[in-house]
Structure 1
Amino acid sequence: MKPLITLLLLLSLQTVTAQFSWNAELNLQGMASTEEEHLPFWMNHNQRGRTEKETNFASWVSGKAYYDLGNTGRLEAGAGFLGRDASSDDFFTDELYLTYQKNWLEFTVGRKQRPEAYNGLSASNESILWSLNARPLPGLQLQTTRPVFLFKNFGFEAAWEEYLMDDDFLEKVKLHHKSFHFVYSTSNRNFTFKAGLQHFAQWGGSNDLGGEQPESLEDYIRIITGMQGGETAGAWDQQNALGNHLGGYELSAYKQFSTFELELFYQHLFEDGSGRRLGNTPDGRYGLFVTSTQKDHLVNSLMYEFYTTHHQSHTTSGPHKNDNYFNGNYGGWAYFGNVVGAPFFSLNENETRVINNKFTAHHLGISGNFSSTLGDHRYRLLLSYAQNDGTRPVRFEPKQDVFYALYDVKLLQKEVELNLQFAAEYDNYKAPVYGAGLHLVYRIE
């Protein structure tokens, strides 16, 4: 009898082990620049809020655990904590979440880092409205993990999310986000076309600019439908939509060829009725991404993006002319001092308002592999040029011309990964800034 019980226990343990897996990661990052307390642009932007321009050292540890529930789904739990030398918040939670996934549907509670797209070559990851420039927001996320095809070639992708924006400037402000995209794909899935929209709305809570804001269930219904504010709302919100709204229309086309893959995309942005009716055209993000199906070339992937935000509905007919992107009754579109959208939008010294939302930018990203006596090395090169004109009410005189560069190469990629970085920032307003850094990663799987 005892041998049978022992055998059953061993089989049960083996089953649980097969269902459970985990991994952990330790990151150490050191950086220095030629200007005190000012890292070059790409060393402190699109860093998930982990570094500031004054940061010289950052370290974070993270871990993830996975449990396979069989036919009932899959659980994932993650936690990460970060320490750094900075002017504020030198220790904070990088992520802390629990995710349940069943087939094509996923639900997450907590603060979870968003996935990196385009091999890290984009200036704004997947959206001009929501990049990797700021920390992840805590909240609830319900989304599809892939296109859901209701018919052979036609399907959709969707997300419904509720977050809390609570930082040094915003107090208990809520953020509603939803997205919906129609998807067309050929039967062999080598061509896909998507068309859809994103909608964000800040509401409730309080801030130094707008004071206390209404946040009842009725107000939430007004928020998700874009309705005017009720009797408890301010005069402006009673005449317009309650809260601070922004969003955009999105188009993308993907094609797989025999030796490479190509994606073309366009993202429009709006903050009011004029933008929703395309009165601010041609403002938005345009781009292409090309990647090789074989990953051993000197150039494996290439991305080009063009950004323009000059029009801002200044010639449109009807109401809601003269947009002022990423500025509203909740201050700038920012979280803990970092713009949530594309990092070419810049904040004032108090990190409460966007002082540059009228610009043209060209961005080029290249990645690939090369060999040396130490082995194979993956690299990433980012080159960006922007001409900044301030805001429509307050222009930059003269216009600000900036150029940003980053070269990131992996020196070691075995048990321990080691990356070397060089960066530069050129600005017609000030002297050039150069920087260098090392990033060490140790993984346990």
Structure 2
Amino acid sequence: MRRQIQKKLPVIILWLLPLTTVFGQSVDLGYNTLAGTNNKLPFWLWANQLGHFDANSSTVQNLELRAFHNQQLSNTDFTVEAGLDLDLLLADKNDLRFTQLFAGFNWKFLQLQIGAFPDEERFAGLSTSNGNMAASLNARPHPRIRMGFNRFVPLIGNWFSIKGFYEEGLLNDKRYVEDTHLHRKAFYLRFGQPQSIELTAGLEHFVMWGGTHPEYGELQDWSSYFDYISGSAGDENALPTDQENVLGNGYGVYQLQLKKAWEKIHATLYVSHPFDDRSGMQLDNAVDNLWGLHLAFQNREALLQNLVLEFINTKNQSGTYHLVPDENGVPQGHGRDNYYNHGVYRSGVTYGQMAMVSPLFAPVIIDDGMSKGFESTRFTGFHLAANGQLTKAIYWKSALTYTANYGFHDGQGGSTYDPARRQASALGQLKWKPIDKKISIAAALAADHGSLYDNGENKTRLGAMLSLNYSIK
């Protein structure tokens, strides 16, 4: 298999390289080599890397071709954009794929994007989940179509604006329910300005729907689309569980952000609150949140440029029990939400065997070569990350993360992990990127210690990464 991929790569690159060089505004060749002990890479060598690296490999070789283009059509308000990221991966499982391949069209504040593209990176890339519990930069982008606003649009002066989008995608990886659709919509309101205080509040709603179930066959399709996206219960043709709850696998987040800008520092406090059903939407799980603080120092040549602090809690999940009859036989309690797992869509919120949500939901259960969801969805954790500049050409980045993981509610008042499985992960990285050179070099060291990824057995795992990048254009 490896020899077949190696034979194909020169042909593909020789075909694509002239095209990308002519049409791309930015064209780069990159090479990454990674290694880890105990048959696995440490957490911060694979997490939030758009699925580039196989977490379950002890060594990874990666060669990638990246090209991006953005152009305004002359004398119009239209702009077009396109991008690709072609990756050759040599690891325990070899692969040749387009990690990104997309096109976009913009007219004033309106945007249409088609293909496999990631969300915009936020908080200098230092957050555990890009500030959004339900949509991180961890997994490889899936094919989708997104329509919406490309920026916040003022409605009343400069102190009240809105932003949103509507999206349909396809999860075309190997998964329990084949060809699962993924719907996503988002709506945000923004009040004020950073120079005083800026408040942003929003809601994002996701639904996995349709597809082919190995036991139930073809699930309800486009004819039930409105019921899916509106969070309605299924009709008489739906599965019994969907008639009792809502059609498909619905989940989402409430997002809140408070920003204040001073001359030398911008401070952003952000909260991401998950919900898996109506109880979460009604804040029965109010204590479950990602709390974050991002400090952006405005001296762009400073030793310390960005600092992120986060606290994460997902232990409550609306309570210990779900619909337990009381002494009168009336069902009580709406707990055991088990975030991002699902009884019908058993691959959970994963793509390419990696979490699409925060990578702290782990480990991903792999069975018969496909994901079967998350083994642990209840945890508390702390995260500290920072970056900056040592000299004009040398940049640094570091991260330290700790979690106590409890599995999920076992239905008997306890947890499936007892005692808790604790995990600590650290990263240190240096990057040499001179202004007048086309080449950059980065080296990173990472370490894990804990029992989360080794069936309750405490292990220490070390790893390293060396990255080379050449800017062709």
SS at match of 1:343: coil
Instruction: Provide the residue aligned with 1:417 in structure 2.
Output: 440
> Which residue is equivalent to 2:187?
180
Indicate whether 1:367 and 2:373 are aligned: no
- Residue 201 in 1 paired to residue 207 in 2? yes
Query: Who is 1:28 aligned against?
Result: 31
Match of 1:401 among 392, 405, 422: 422
Residue of structure 1 aligned with 2:83, choices 78, 84, 89:
78
**1:247-294 Cα deviation digits (max 9, x unpaired):** 111110111101000000111111111101000110010010001111
1:51-81 deviation per Cα after TM superposition (whole angstroms, max 9, x unaligned): 0120421111121223321323101111221
Residue by residue, what CA displacement relative to the aligned partner does 1:180-233 show, whole Å, maximum 9, x if unpaired?
1111023x755321111110000000244764310123x110011111112221
2:272 is aligned with what amino acid? Q
Q: Is the 8 Å Cα contact of residues 133 and 253 (structure 2) preserved in structure 1?
A: no
CA distance in 2, matches of 1:66, 1:22: 7
CA–CA separation in structure 2 for the residues paired with 1:137 and 1:210: 25
- Conserved 8 A contact 1:356-1:389: yes
Letter in 1 for 2:334: H
Which letter does structure 1 place at the counterpart of 2:463? G
State the partner residue of 1:323: 337
The answer to whether structure 1 residue 264 and structure 2 residue 269 are counterparts is yes
Which range is displaced more, 52-61 or 237-246?
A: 52-61
Greater shift after overlay, 106-115 or 417-426? Answer: 106-115
Amino acid at match of 2:45: M
Which residue identity is paired with 1:229? G
> What does residue 440 of structure 1 align with?
468
The aligned amino acid for 2:407 is: G
Q: Point out where structure 1 has 5 or more consecutive residues left out of the alignment.
A: 1-19
> Which whole-Å CA distance do the structure 2 matches of 1:85 and 1:291 have between them?
37
Matched positions, count: 420
Once the two structures are TM-superposed, the CA of residue 300 in structure 1 deviates from its matched residue by 1.2
Distance, in Å, in 2 between the alignment partners of 1:71 and 1:392 is: 56
Question: How far apart, CA to CA, are the structure 2 residues paired with 1:440 and 1:185?
Answer: 43
SS of 1:47 mapped into structure 2: coil
Calculate the TM-score normalised by the size of structure 1. 0.90
| d(CA) in 2 for partners of 1:21, 1:164 | 27
Unaligned runs of 5+ in 2: 1-22, 324-331, 452-456
Q: Secondary structure at the match of 1:182?
A: strand
Pair 200,298 (structure 1): closer, same or farther in 2 beyond 3 Å: same
Kindly indicate whether residue 376 of structure 2 is the aligned counterpart of residue 356 of structure 1.
yes
Query: Aligned residue for 1:338?
Result: 354
- Aligned partner of 1:379: which letter? W
Superposed displacement of residue 376, structure 1: 3.0
| Aligned 8 A contact 2:132 2:255 in 1 | no
- Calculate percent identity across the aligned residue pairs: 30
| Cα-Cα RMSD | 1.8
**Contact preservation (8 Å) 1:21, 1:67:** no
> Is the CA contact 1:192–1:255 (under 8 Å) kept in the aligned structure 2?
yes
Look up the match of 2:459.
Answer: 431
Cα shift at 1:439: 0.8
Deviation at 1:308, TM superposition (A): 0.3
1:289 equivalent in structure 2: 294
1:61 aligns with 2:58: no
Query: CA 1:282–1:211 in structure 2 vs 1: closer, same or farther (change >3 Å)?
Result: farther
CA distance in 1, matches of 2:67, 2:387: 27
- Alpha-carbon separation, structure 1, partners of 2:308 and 2:450: 23
Distance 2:217 2:302 in 1: 55
Q: 1:311 Cα shift?
A: 0.4
| Structure-1 residue corresponding to 2:399 | 382
Distance in structure 1 (CA, Å) of the matches to 2:205 and 2:117: 20
Taking the TM superposition and a 5 Å limit, the aligned residue runs for 1:107-122 are 107-122=112-127
CA contact (8 A) 1:40 1:435 kept: yes
CA distance in 2: counterparts of 1:74 and 1:271, whole angstroms: 37
After TM superposition, the structure 1 = structure 2 runs for residues 119-268 of structure 1, keeping only pairs within 5 Å, are 119-152=124-157, 153-169=159-175, 170-186=177-193, 191-208=197-214, 211-217=217-223, 219-268=224-273
Q: 1:144 to 1:338 in 2, by over 3 A?
A: same
Task: Tell me which residue corresponds to 2:53.
Answer: 51
SS at match of 2:393: strand
Q: C-alpha distance in 1, partners of 2:444/2:384?
A: 17
Using a 3 Å threshold, how does the CA distance of structure 1 residues 232 and 287 change in structure 2: closer, same or farther?
A: same
Letter aligned with residue 296 of structure 2: T
TM-score (norm 2): 0.85
Equivalent residues of 1:274, 1:319 under 8 A apart: no
CA contact (8 A) 1:273 1:319 kept: no
